């Protein structure tokens, strides 16, 4: 299938902490939209036209629009993973999981695991709830928006070598090990704060007001 040029938002059934931030993000680009199970209700509340609605519908009624893709409740994948797999098959390269956190911790961890699947398929995946934006950054120099209140960095899977410039707490080729919390709660000190990954992969969490 031909690659989709538009970014995609997939609405899940977690918590939205700041609806205004989310609406601003929706209007910042021309997105396509999926709804997965309970996330369909919030997407419909916002008046969004869903390209696909899918899930086992164990936590919500079936959507009012379109013909939903219905899966059994007993299955090997979460609704979020099913939606991500469908998006990858349809060729999307930038995908946002909306409301991936909150409520059940096991689903939060499962959604974080999807960052790895996306990376393995050369897809950029963002997890966003109106306050927390979570994504992976690979080797190279990455300019980050200065709009966030806090920035946190954690080694993903293996040790990473990290430099931070334009931050209140800079780092210079720091050997960031898994489970090392030194990268938590940093703040921008310049208009274009940057994170340079010399080796490895880093989980970045940007927190809005």
Domains of the chain: 8-130 (3.40.50.10240), 137-207 (2.60.120.320)
Helix axes 79-89, 105-120, angle to 10 degrees: 20
Task: Using pLDDT thresholds of 50, 70 and 90, give the confidence band for residue 205.
Answer: very high
> What pLDDT shows up at residue 55?
79
Q: What is the overall mean pLDDT for the chain?
A: 91
Residue 72, pLDDT above cutoff 80: no
Residue 67, pLDDT above cutoff 80: no
> What pLDDT shows up at residue 63?
64
Task: Using pLDDT thresholds of 50, 70 and 90, give the confidence band for residue 78.
Answer: confident
Residue 1, pLDDT above cutoff 60: no
Residue 65, pLDDT above cutoff 70: no
Task: Using pLDDT thresholds of 50, 70 and 90, give the confidence band for residue 62.
Answer: low
> What pLDDT shows up at residue 3?
61
Nearby residues of 116 by Cβ (< 8 Å), 6 or more positions away: 157
Task: Using pLDDT thresholds of 50, 70 and 90, give the confidence band for residue 5.
Answer: confident
Residues 162-188 have a mean pLDDT of: 97
Nearby residues of 9 by Cβ (< 8 Å), 6 or more positions away: 26, 31, 32, 33, 34, 95, 96, 98
Q: Strands, DSSP E only, in 69-117?
A: 69-70, 94-98
Residues 67-76 have a mean pLDDT of: 70
Residues 182-187 have a mean pLDDT of: 96
> What pLDDT shows up at residue 69?
77
C-alpha span between 126 and 190 (Å, rounded): 24
- Find the angle CA(168)-CA(173)-CA(175) to the nearest 5 degrees: 105
pTM equals: 0.91
Flag the least confident range among 34-48, 60-74, 155-169, 175-189. 60-74
């Amino acid at each position: 299938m031909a690659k989709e040029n538009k970014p995609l938002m997939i609405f899940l059934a977690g918590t939205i902490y700041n609806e205004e931030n989310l609406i601003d993000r929706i209007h910042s680009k021309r997105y396509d939209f999926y709804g997965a199970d309970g996330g369909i209700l919030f997407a419909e509340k916002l008046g969004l036209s869903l390209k696909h609605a899918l899930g086992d519908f164990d936590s919500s009624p079936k959507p009012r629009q379109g013909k939903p893709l219905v899966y059994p409740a007993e299955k090997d994948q979460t609704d979020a993973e099913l939606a991500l797999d469908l998006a990858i098959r349809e060729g999307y390269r930038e995908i946002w999981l909306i409301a991936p956190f909150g409520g059940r911790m096991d689903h939060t961890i499962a959604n974080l695991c999807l960052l790895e699947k996306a990376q393995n398929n050369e897809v950029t995946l963002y997890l966003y709830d109106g306050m927390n934006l979570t994504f992976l950054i690979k080797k190279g120099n990455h300019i980050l928006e200065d709009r966030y209140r806090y920035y946190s960095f954690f080694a993903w899977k293996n040790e990473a070598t990290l430099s931070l410039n334009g931050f209140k707490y800079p780092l210079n080729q720091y050997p960031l090990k898994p489970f090392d919390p030194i990268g938590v709660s940093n703040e921008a000190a310049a208009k274009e704060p940057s994170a340079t990954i010399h080796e490895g992969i880093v989980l970045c969490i940007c927190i809005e007001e």
